Copies of this chain bind each other. A is one copy, B any other.
Amino acid sequence: MYNMDRLYEAVAARGPVCAGLDTDPAYIPPAERRRAASDAEAVLSFNRAIVDAAADRTACFKVQIAYYEALGGAGLEAYAKTLAFIRSRGCLVIADIKRGDIADTARRYAKAHFEGDFEADFVTLSPYMGMDSLEPWLSWADTKGKGAFALVRTSNPGARDFEYLELREDRADTGGGPDGPSQARRLYHAVGDKLAELAASRMGRHGYGALGAVIGCTGREEARAIRERYGGLFFLIPGYGAQGGGAEDAALLLKEGNGGVVNASRSILRAWTAKAGEAGEEADNAFAGEAAREAVIAMGDSIRAAAAKTAGSRGAGL
C-alpha cells in the first residue's frame, strides 16, 4: 500500500486540509517563545501543540524545511523531531524540500528524506533537470510505500516566467482532435505529462499514482483543464488563502472532494492572533493549537462545501 493511498483515505476521513508547519518563530505566542531555551525549541513545542490539536481534522502536515534550516543545526534538529512527532501520532507528513538533482545525488537525497533522522512520508521535488532526477525517488515507493509531489504549476507570480512558456511542437501534435483545436502545450504540461506517465507505473488502489503533482490554486478554467488532464495524479495544492486562492478554486482541483490536499500555513499557525491579538500575552501554545484546529475545520468545511457544489454543477451537465 502506498502512502498516497493512505493520504486518499485520510482525506476521506478527515477532509482535504494539509496544515503547513512553516513555523517562523515570530508566529509563536510571545510568552511561549520567551519561555523556550531557544527559537528552535520554541518552534518544536509550538508544532507539537498544533499537531496535537488539529491532527484529527487534518489530512496531513507539510513541513517547509527552509524555516528550519534558517535556524541552523538546532533548527534541523527541531525539523527532525517535528517529523518524528507527526508520524508518532499516526499522521502523514510531507517534507517540503523541493529537491532536484542528478541520479546519483537524487539517490542520496532519497535516502536522507525517506529513512533515518529526516524520514518523511512524502517529499516535494523540482523537475527542472529532467526525469532522471525524479525516477530514483520512486524505488522508495516500491520498498516503503513512499510518495512524492513534483512541481508542475505553481501559484507564485514567477510561475509565468518559465512554467507557462508555450512549446513549439510538430503541427501533428497540436493540430487538435475531434473536440476542436487543442491549446498550445506549455512547459508545465510537458512536465505534467511525463509525471503522469511515470505515476501510472506506480498506481495505487484509489486510482492515484505514488507520484503526485504540486498544482497551485489559481485560475478556474485552468484548474478544470488540469484536473481533467491529470486524472491519475494526486495534487498537493498550495496558494490557498494568503496567496489568493479560495475554496472554490481549490475544489476544482479535487475530484469529488478527494484526489488532492489543500495547503495553508500562516492562516492556521497564526489563527491565535485573531482571538488574542498580535501581542497575545495571554496566549499559549494550547490556545494557539485550539485556534489552529478551528481554522483547519473552517477551511476544510469551506472546501468540502465548494466541492459538493462543483460536483452538483458537474452532475447538471456543466
Contacts and interface: CB of A to CB of B under 8 A. Distances in A.
A276 interface: no
A245 to B, nearest CB: 14
Contact of A98 (B64, B100, B111, B184): B100
A116 B20 CA distance: 25
Nearest to A130: B158
Q: Assembly of this chain: how many copies?
A: 2
Nearest to A174: B168
Interface residues of A, number: 58
A165 B167 contact: yes
Nearest to A186: B168
A34 interface: no
Interface stretch (A6-14, A187-195, A291-299): A187-195
A115 B66 CA distance: 13
A169 B166 CA distance: 8
A56 interface: no
Interface of A: 22, 24, 64, 66-67, 69-73, 75-77, 80, 98-103, 105-106, 108-109, 111-113, 116-118, 126-133, 151, 154, 156-163, 165-169, 184, 187, 190-191, 194
Q: Return the 6 tightest CB-CB contacts between A and B, nearest first.
A: A130-B158, A72-B117, A69-B112, A132-B158, A130-B161, A66-B108
Instruction: Name, among A108, A129, A154, the residue most crowded by chain B CB atoms within 10 Å (CB to CB).
Output: A129
Contact of A73 (B67, B77, B166): B77
Contacts of A103: 156, 158
A186 to B, nearest CB: 9
B156 A132 contact: yes
14 contacts: A66-B112, A69-B108, A69-B112, A70-B109, A72-B116, A73-B80, A100-B100, A103-B156, A127-B128, A129-B156, A129-B158, A130-B158, A130-B163, A132-B161
A128 B151 contact: yes
